[in-house]
Structures are given as structure tokens and as C-alpha cells.
Amino acid sequence: MNIVIIPGDGIGPETMQVSVDLLQDANQVFGLGLNFQHEIAGHDSLQRHGATVTDALLATVKAADGLLLGPMATYDFKDESKGEINPSKFFRKNLDLYANIRPAKTYPGIKTLTGPFDLVVVRENTEGFYADRNMALGHSEILVTEDVAISMRRITRVCCERIARSAFGLARQRQKRLTLVHKANVLRITDGLFLQACADVGKDFPDVVVDDFIVDAMMAHVVRAPERFDVIVTTNMFGDILSDLTAELSGSLGLGGSLNAGDHHAMGQAAHGSAPDIAGQNKANPFSQVLSAAMLLAWHASRSNGKPQYLAAAHAMEQAVSDCVAAGECTRDIGGKLGTHETGLALRRRLKAA
């Protein structure tokens, strides 16, 4: 498996180093045959190449089996005419990574506001209210006058059907329960199309039990009783908000892995930002990046018949995170006393001892 490694901005190089070290250990323990190609994007690429991402980099990623992307300084990149392109958006769009998979679960040893839960948010990744991916030319926000602005939402049957199929397939592998989240009482046409597409796809999954919630009510239900949910599927913006909420309910956004997947490519990406205020201080929590790397291995396992070692390695990496959290071998943001590097060493010890 050939993986392109892009460390990202801010705390990215620190958390990515932990992830790469752990992947190298997993490579030896499980005989994965991993090869790493180290590339740059974001501020480093802007300084060296005049753009945060390049066409050459895209070609490299397309030729690989997967991409591991560190957190990017997204808010710094405002003018694409000056090469300031959002790398995450760039890869999601150009690789057609239509499914954003965001697990959220509680860990023994982490104090939370709720009881134990284990759920996954499946978010459509390519349309919705996101102005940068709705139009063939330009974007879907319009300034009519200085005092009037309009934003358009694009929802298509094909995008709804494929995200629904991803969610139903995942639900079938878990507890066979799927929740649809929408605002069809107000967005009758667009969310109506989403619900109809989900219903049509659901005919192929009669063993999966389906319910649905209006998005504002869903936020309340998730805070009150997250344990009642298993797999949740929704449109882009609702999923963006809901996945951050559920990750934080689990104890920290830094505990949430994230995978952006399509039919032919996938990108493991930390769920959090680049946190420049603590960059280079050995304070950053590496778990989100590590869990995203594990998800990338699991995705490859699902595509590689006869290669169960990738799934075994993914589970071992996830277990190492759980064991470190339970033992308090983690960074201060989640109750530990270790630095980023030392947390990485603890992860490596536990994976090798598994």
C-alpha cells in the first residue's frame, strides 16, 4: 500500500510524525508492505511553489493507494488567484471523496457529560450549502447589493443515493440501525429529495432499521441520549456540525478520527484544526490523526480481498489509543500529563505488545 503523507500546518508535523511512526510499527508487526511518500501542502507549498496545492501533487495522490493529510490552516487561505487554495477542499473535490465518515465514541478514563456511546456520522461531502463546490464556475453565494446576499444549496439525487448507500452499508456492518437527519419540514424540496433517495436505496437493505429526525431536534437528542444512535447520515452542513458535536461529546474533538472516501480514493484527515497557538510546543493531541490513519488502513482492507492484515493493523492502532487513554498515557487536554512525542512512544509500546 502506497500512502502519500502531507503533514499540514501548525501542529500537523508533530501529530503526523506520531502517526507515521505508529504506521511503520504496524507495517513491521503485521507485514503490510507500506510505502510512504512525503509531500507538502499548505503554507510550506505556498512558500515553495506559489500555491498551497499543485497539479503535480494531485497526480501523485491519484497514483497512490491513500492520502494521510494533516490539519491545514484553512482560514489563512482566502484568495485562490494567489494560490491560496483550501487543500482539504481541493482533494475532496478532485478525488470525488463524497463520504466523510466520522466515528465518535466514549473512552474509559475520559470524563463526559453523557453515558457511554459509540456512533458514526456519515456526511455527504460534495454539495449542500457549501458555496465552493456547488457551481461549475464560481461559487453559489451572490452579493445582490451591499445589503442583500443570497446563498444557494445544491442537492442532487446521485449524491444523495451514493451517501445513503455508504451509510446503509456501514449500518449493516454495525448494529443495523440508521438515522436520517434533515430539515424537510422547511427545506421541503431539497431535503425531500434526500429522504426519498435514502428510502429508495433502503429497499436494498431491508435488514437495516431506519428512523429520521429534524436536525434541530437531533442536536437535542444527541446531547440527551447519544447511546440511542448507531449510524447517522445527513447532508453536508448538517453533518459538519453534528460530527463536531458528537466528537466533543465523546470527550474531545482530538479523539475523533475522520475519513474522506470515494469509489476509488480515500483521505485520512484529522478532525481538528492546525492550532498554531500550540504548534512546536509538544502539547498537541495526536489521537485524531492516528485514528484517521487507522481508518485509512481499514478502508484499504475493504478494497483488498485476501488482505485481512490491514484490518487487523487498524484495530490494533485503535486499541492502542483506547489503552493509552485508559492508562492516562495521553496529552493534558484529555487529562494526561504527557507531551505529543511521549504519547506517541506510549502508543508504539502498546501496539508492539499487542
Cβ atoms of residues 171 and 232 within 8 Å: no
β-pairing, 259-261 vs 99-105, is antiparallel
Nearest to 258 by CA among 104, 38, 106, 75: 104
From CA 122, how far away is CA 168, in angstroms rounded?
10
Amino acid at 146: E
CA distance 268 to 289: 8
Q: Which is it for the CA torsion 72, 74, 75, 78, positive or negative?
A: positive
The span from the CA of 99 to the CA of 110, in Å, is 28
Which class for 353: exposed (0-12), middle (13-18), buried (19 or more C-beta within 10 A)? exposed
The residue type at 314? A
- Residue 316 CA: distances (Å) to CA of 19, 29, 39, 94, 320: 13, 10, 26, 31, 6
Quick count: other Cβ atoms within 10 Å of Cβ 63? 10
Residues with active-site annotation? 130, 183, 216, 240, 244
Which own/partner contact pairs does 188-193 have at CB distance under 8 Å and 24+ positions apart? 190/153, 190/155, 191/155, 191/235, 193/155, 193/156, 193/157, 193/160
The secondary structure of 69-134 as a DSSP string is E----GGG---GGGT---HHHHHHHHTT--EEEEEEE--TTS--SS---EEEEEEE-SSBT-GGGS
Residue 275's nearest CA partner among 2, 95, 11, 64 is 11
* Rounded CA separation 230/241 (Å): 17
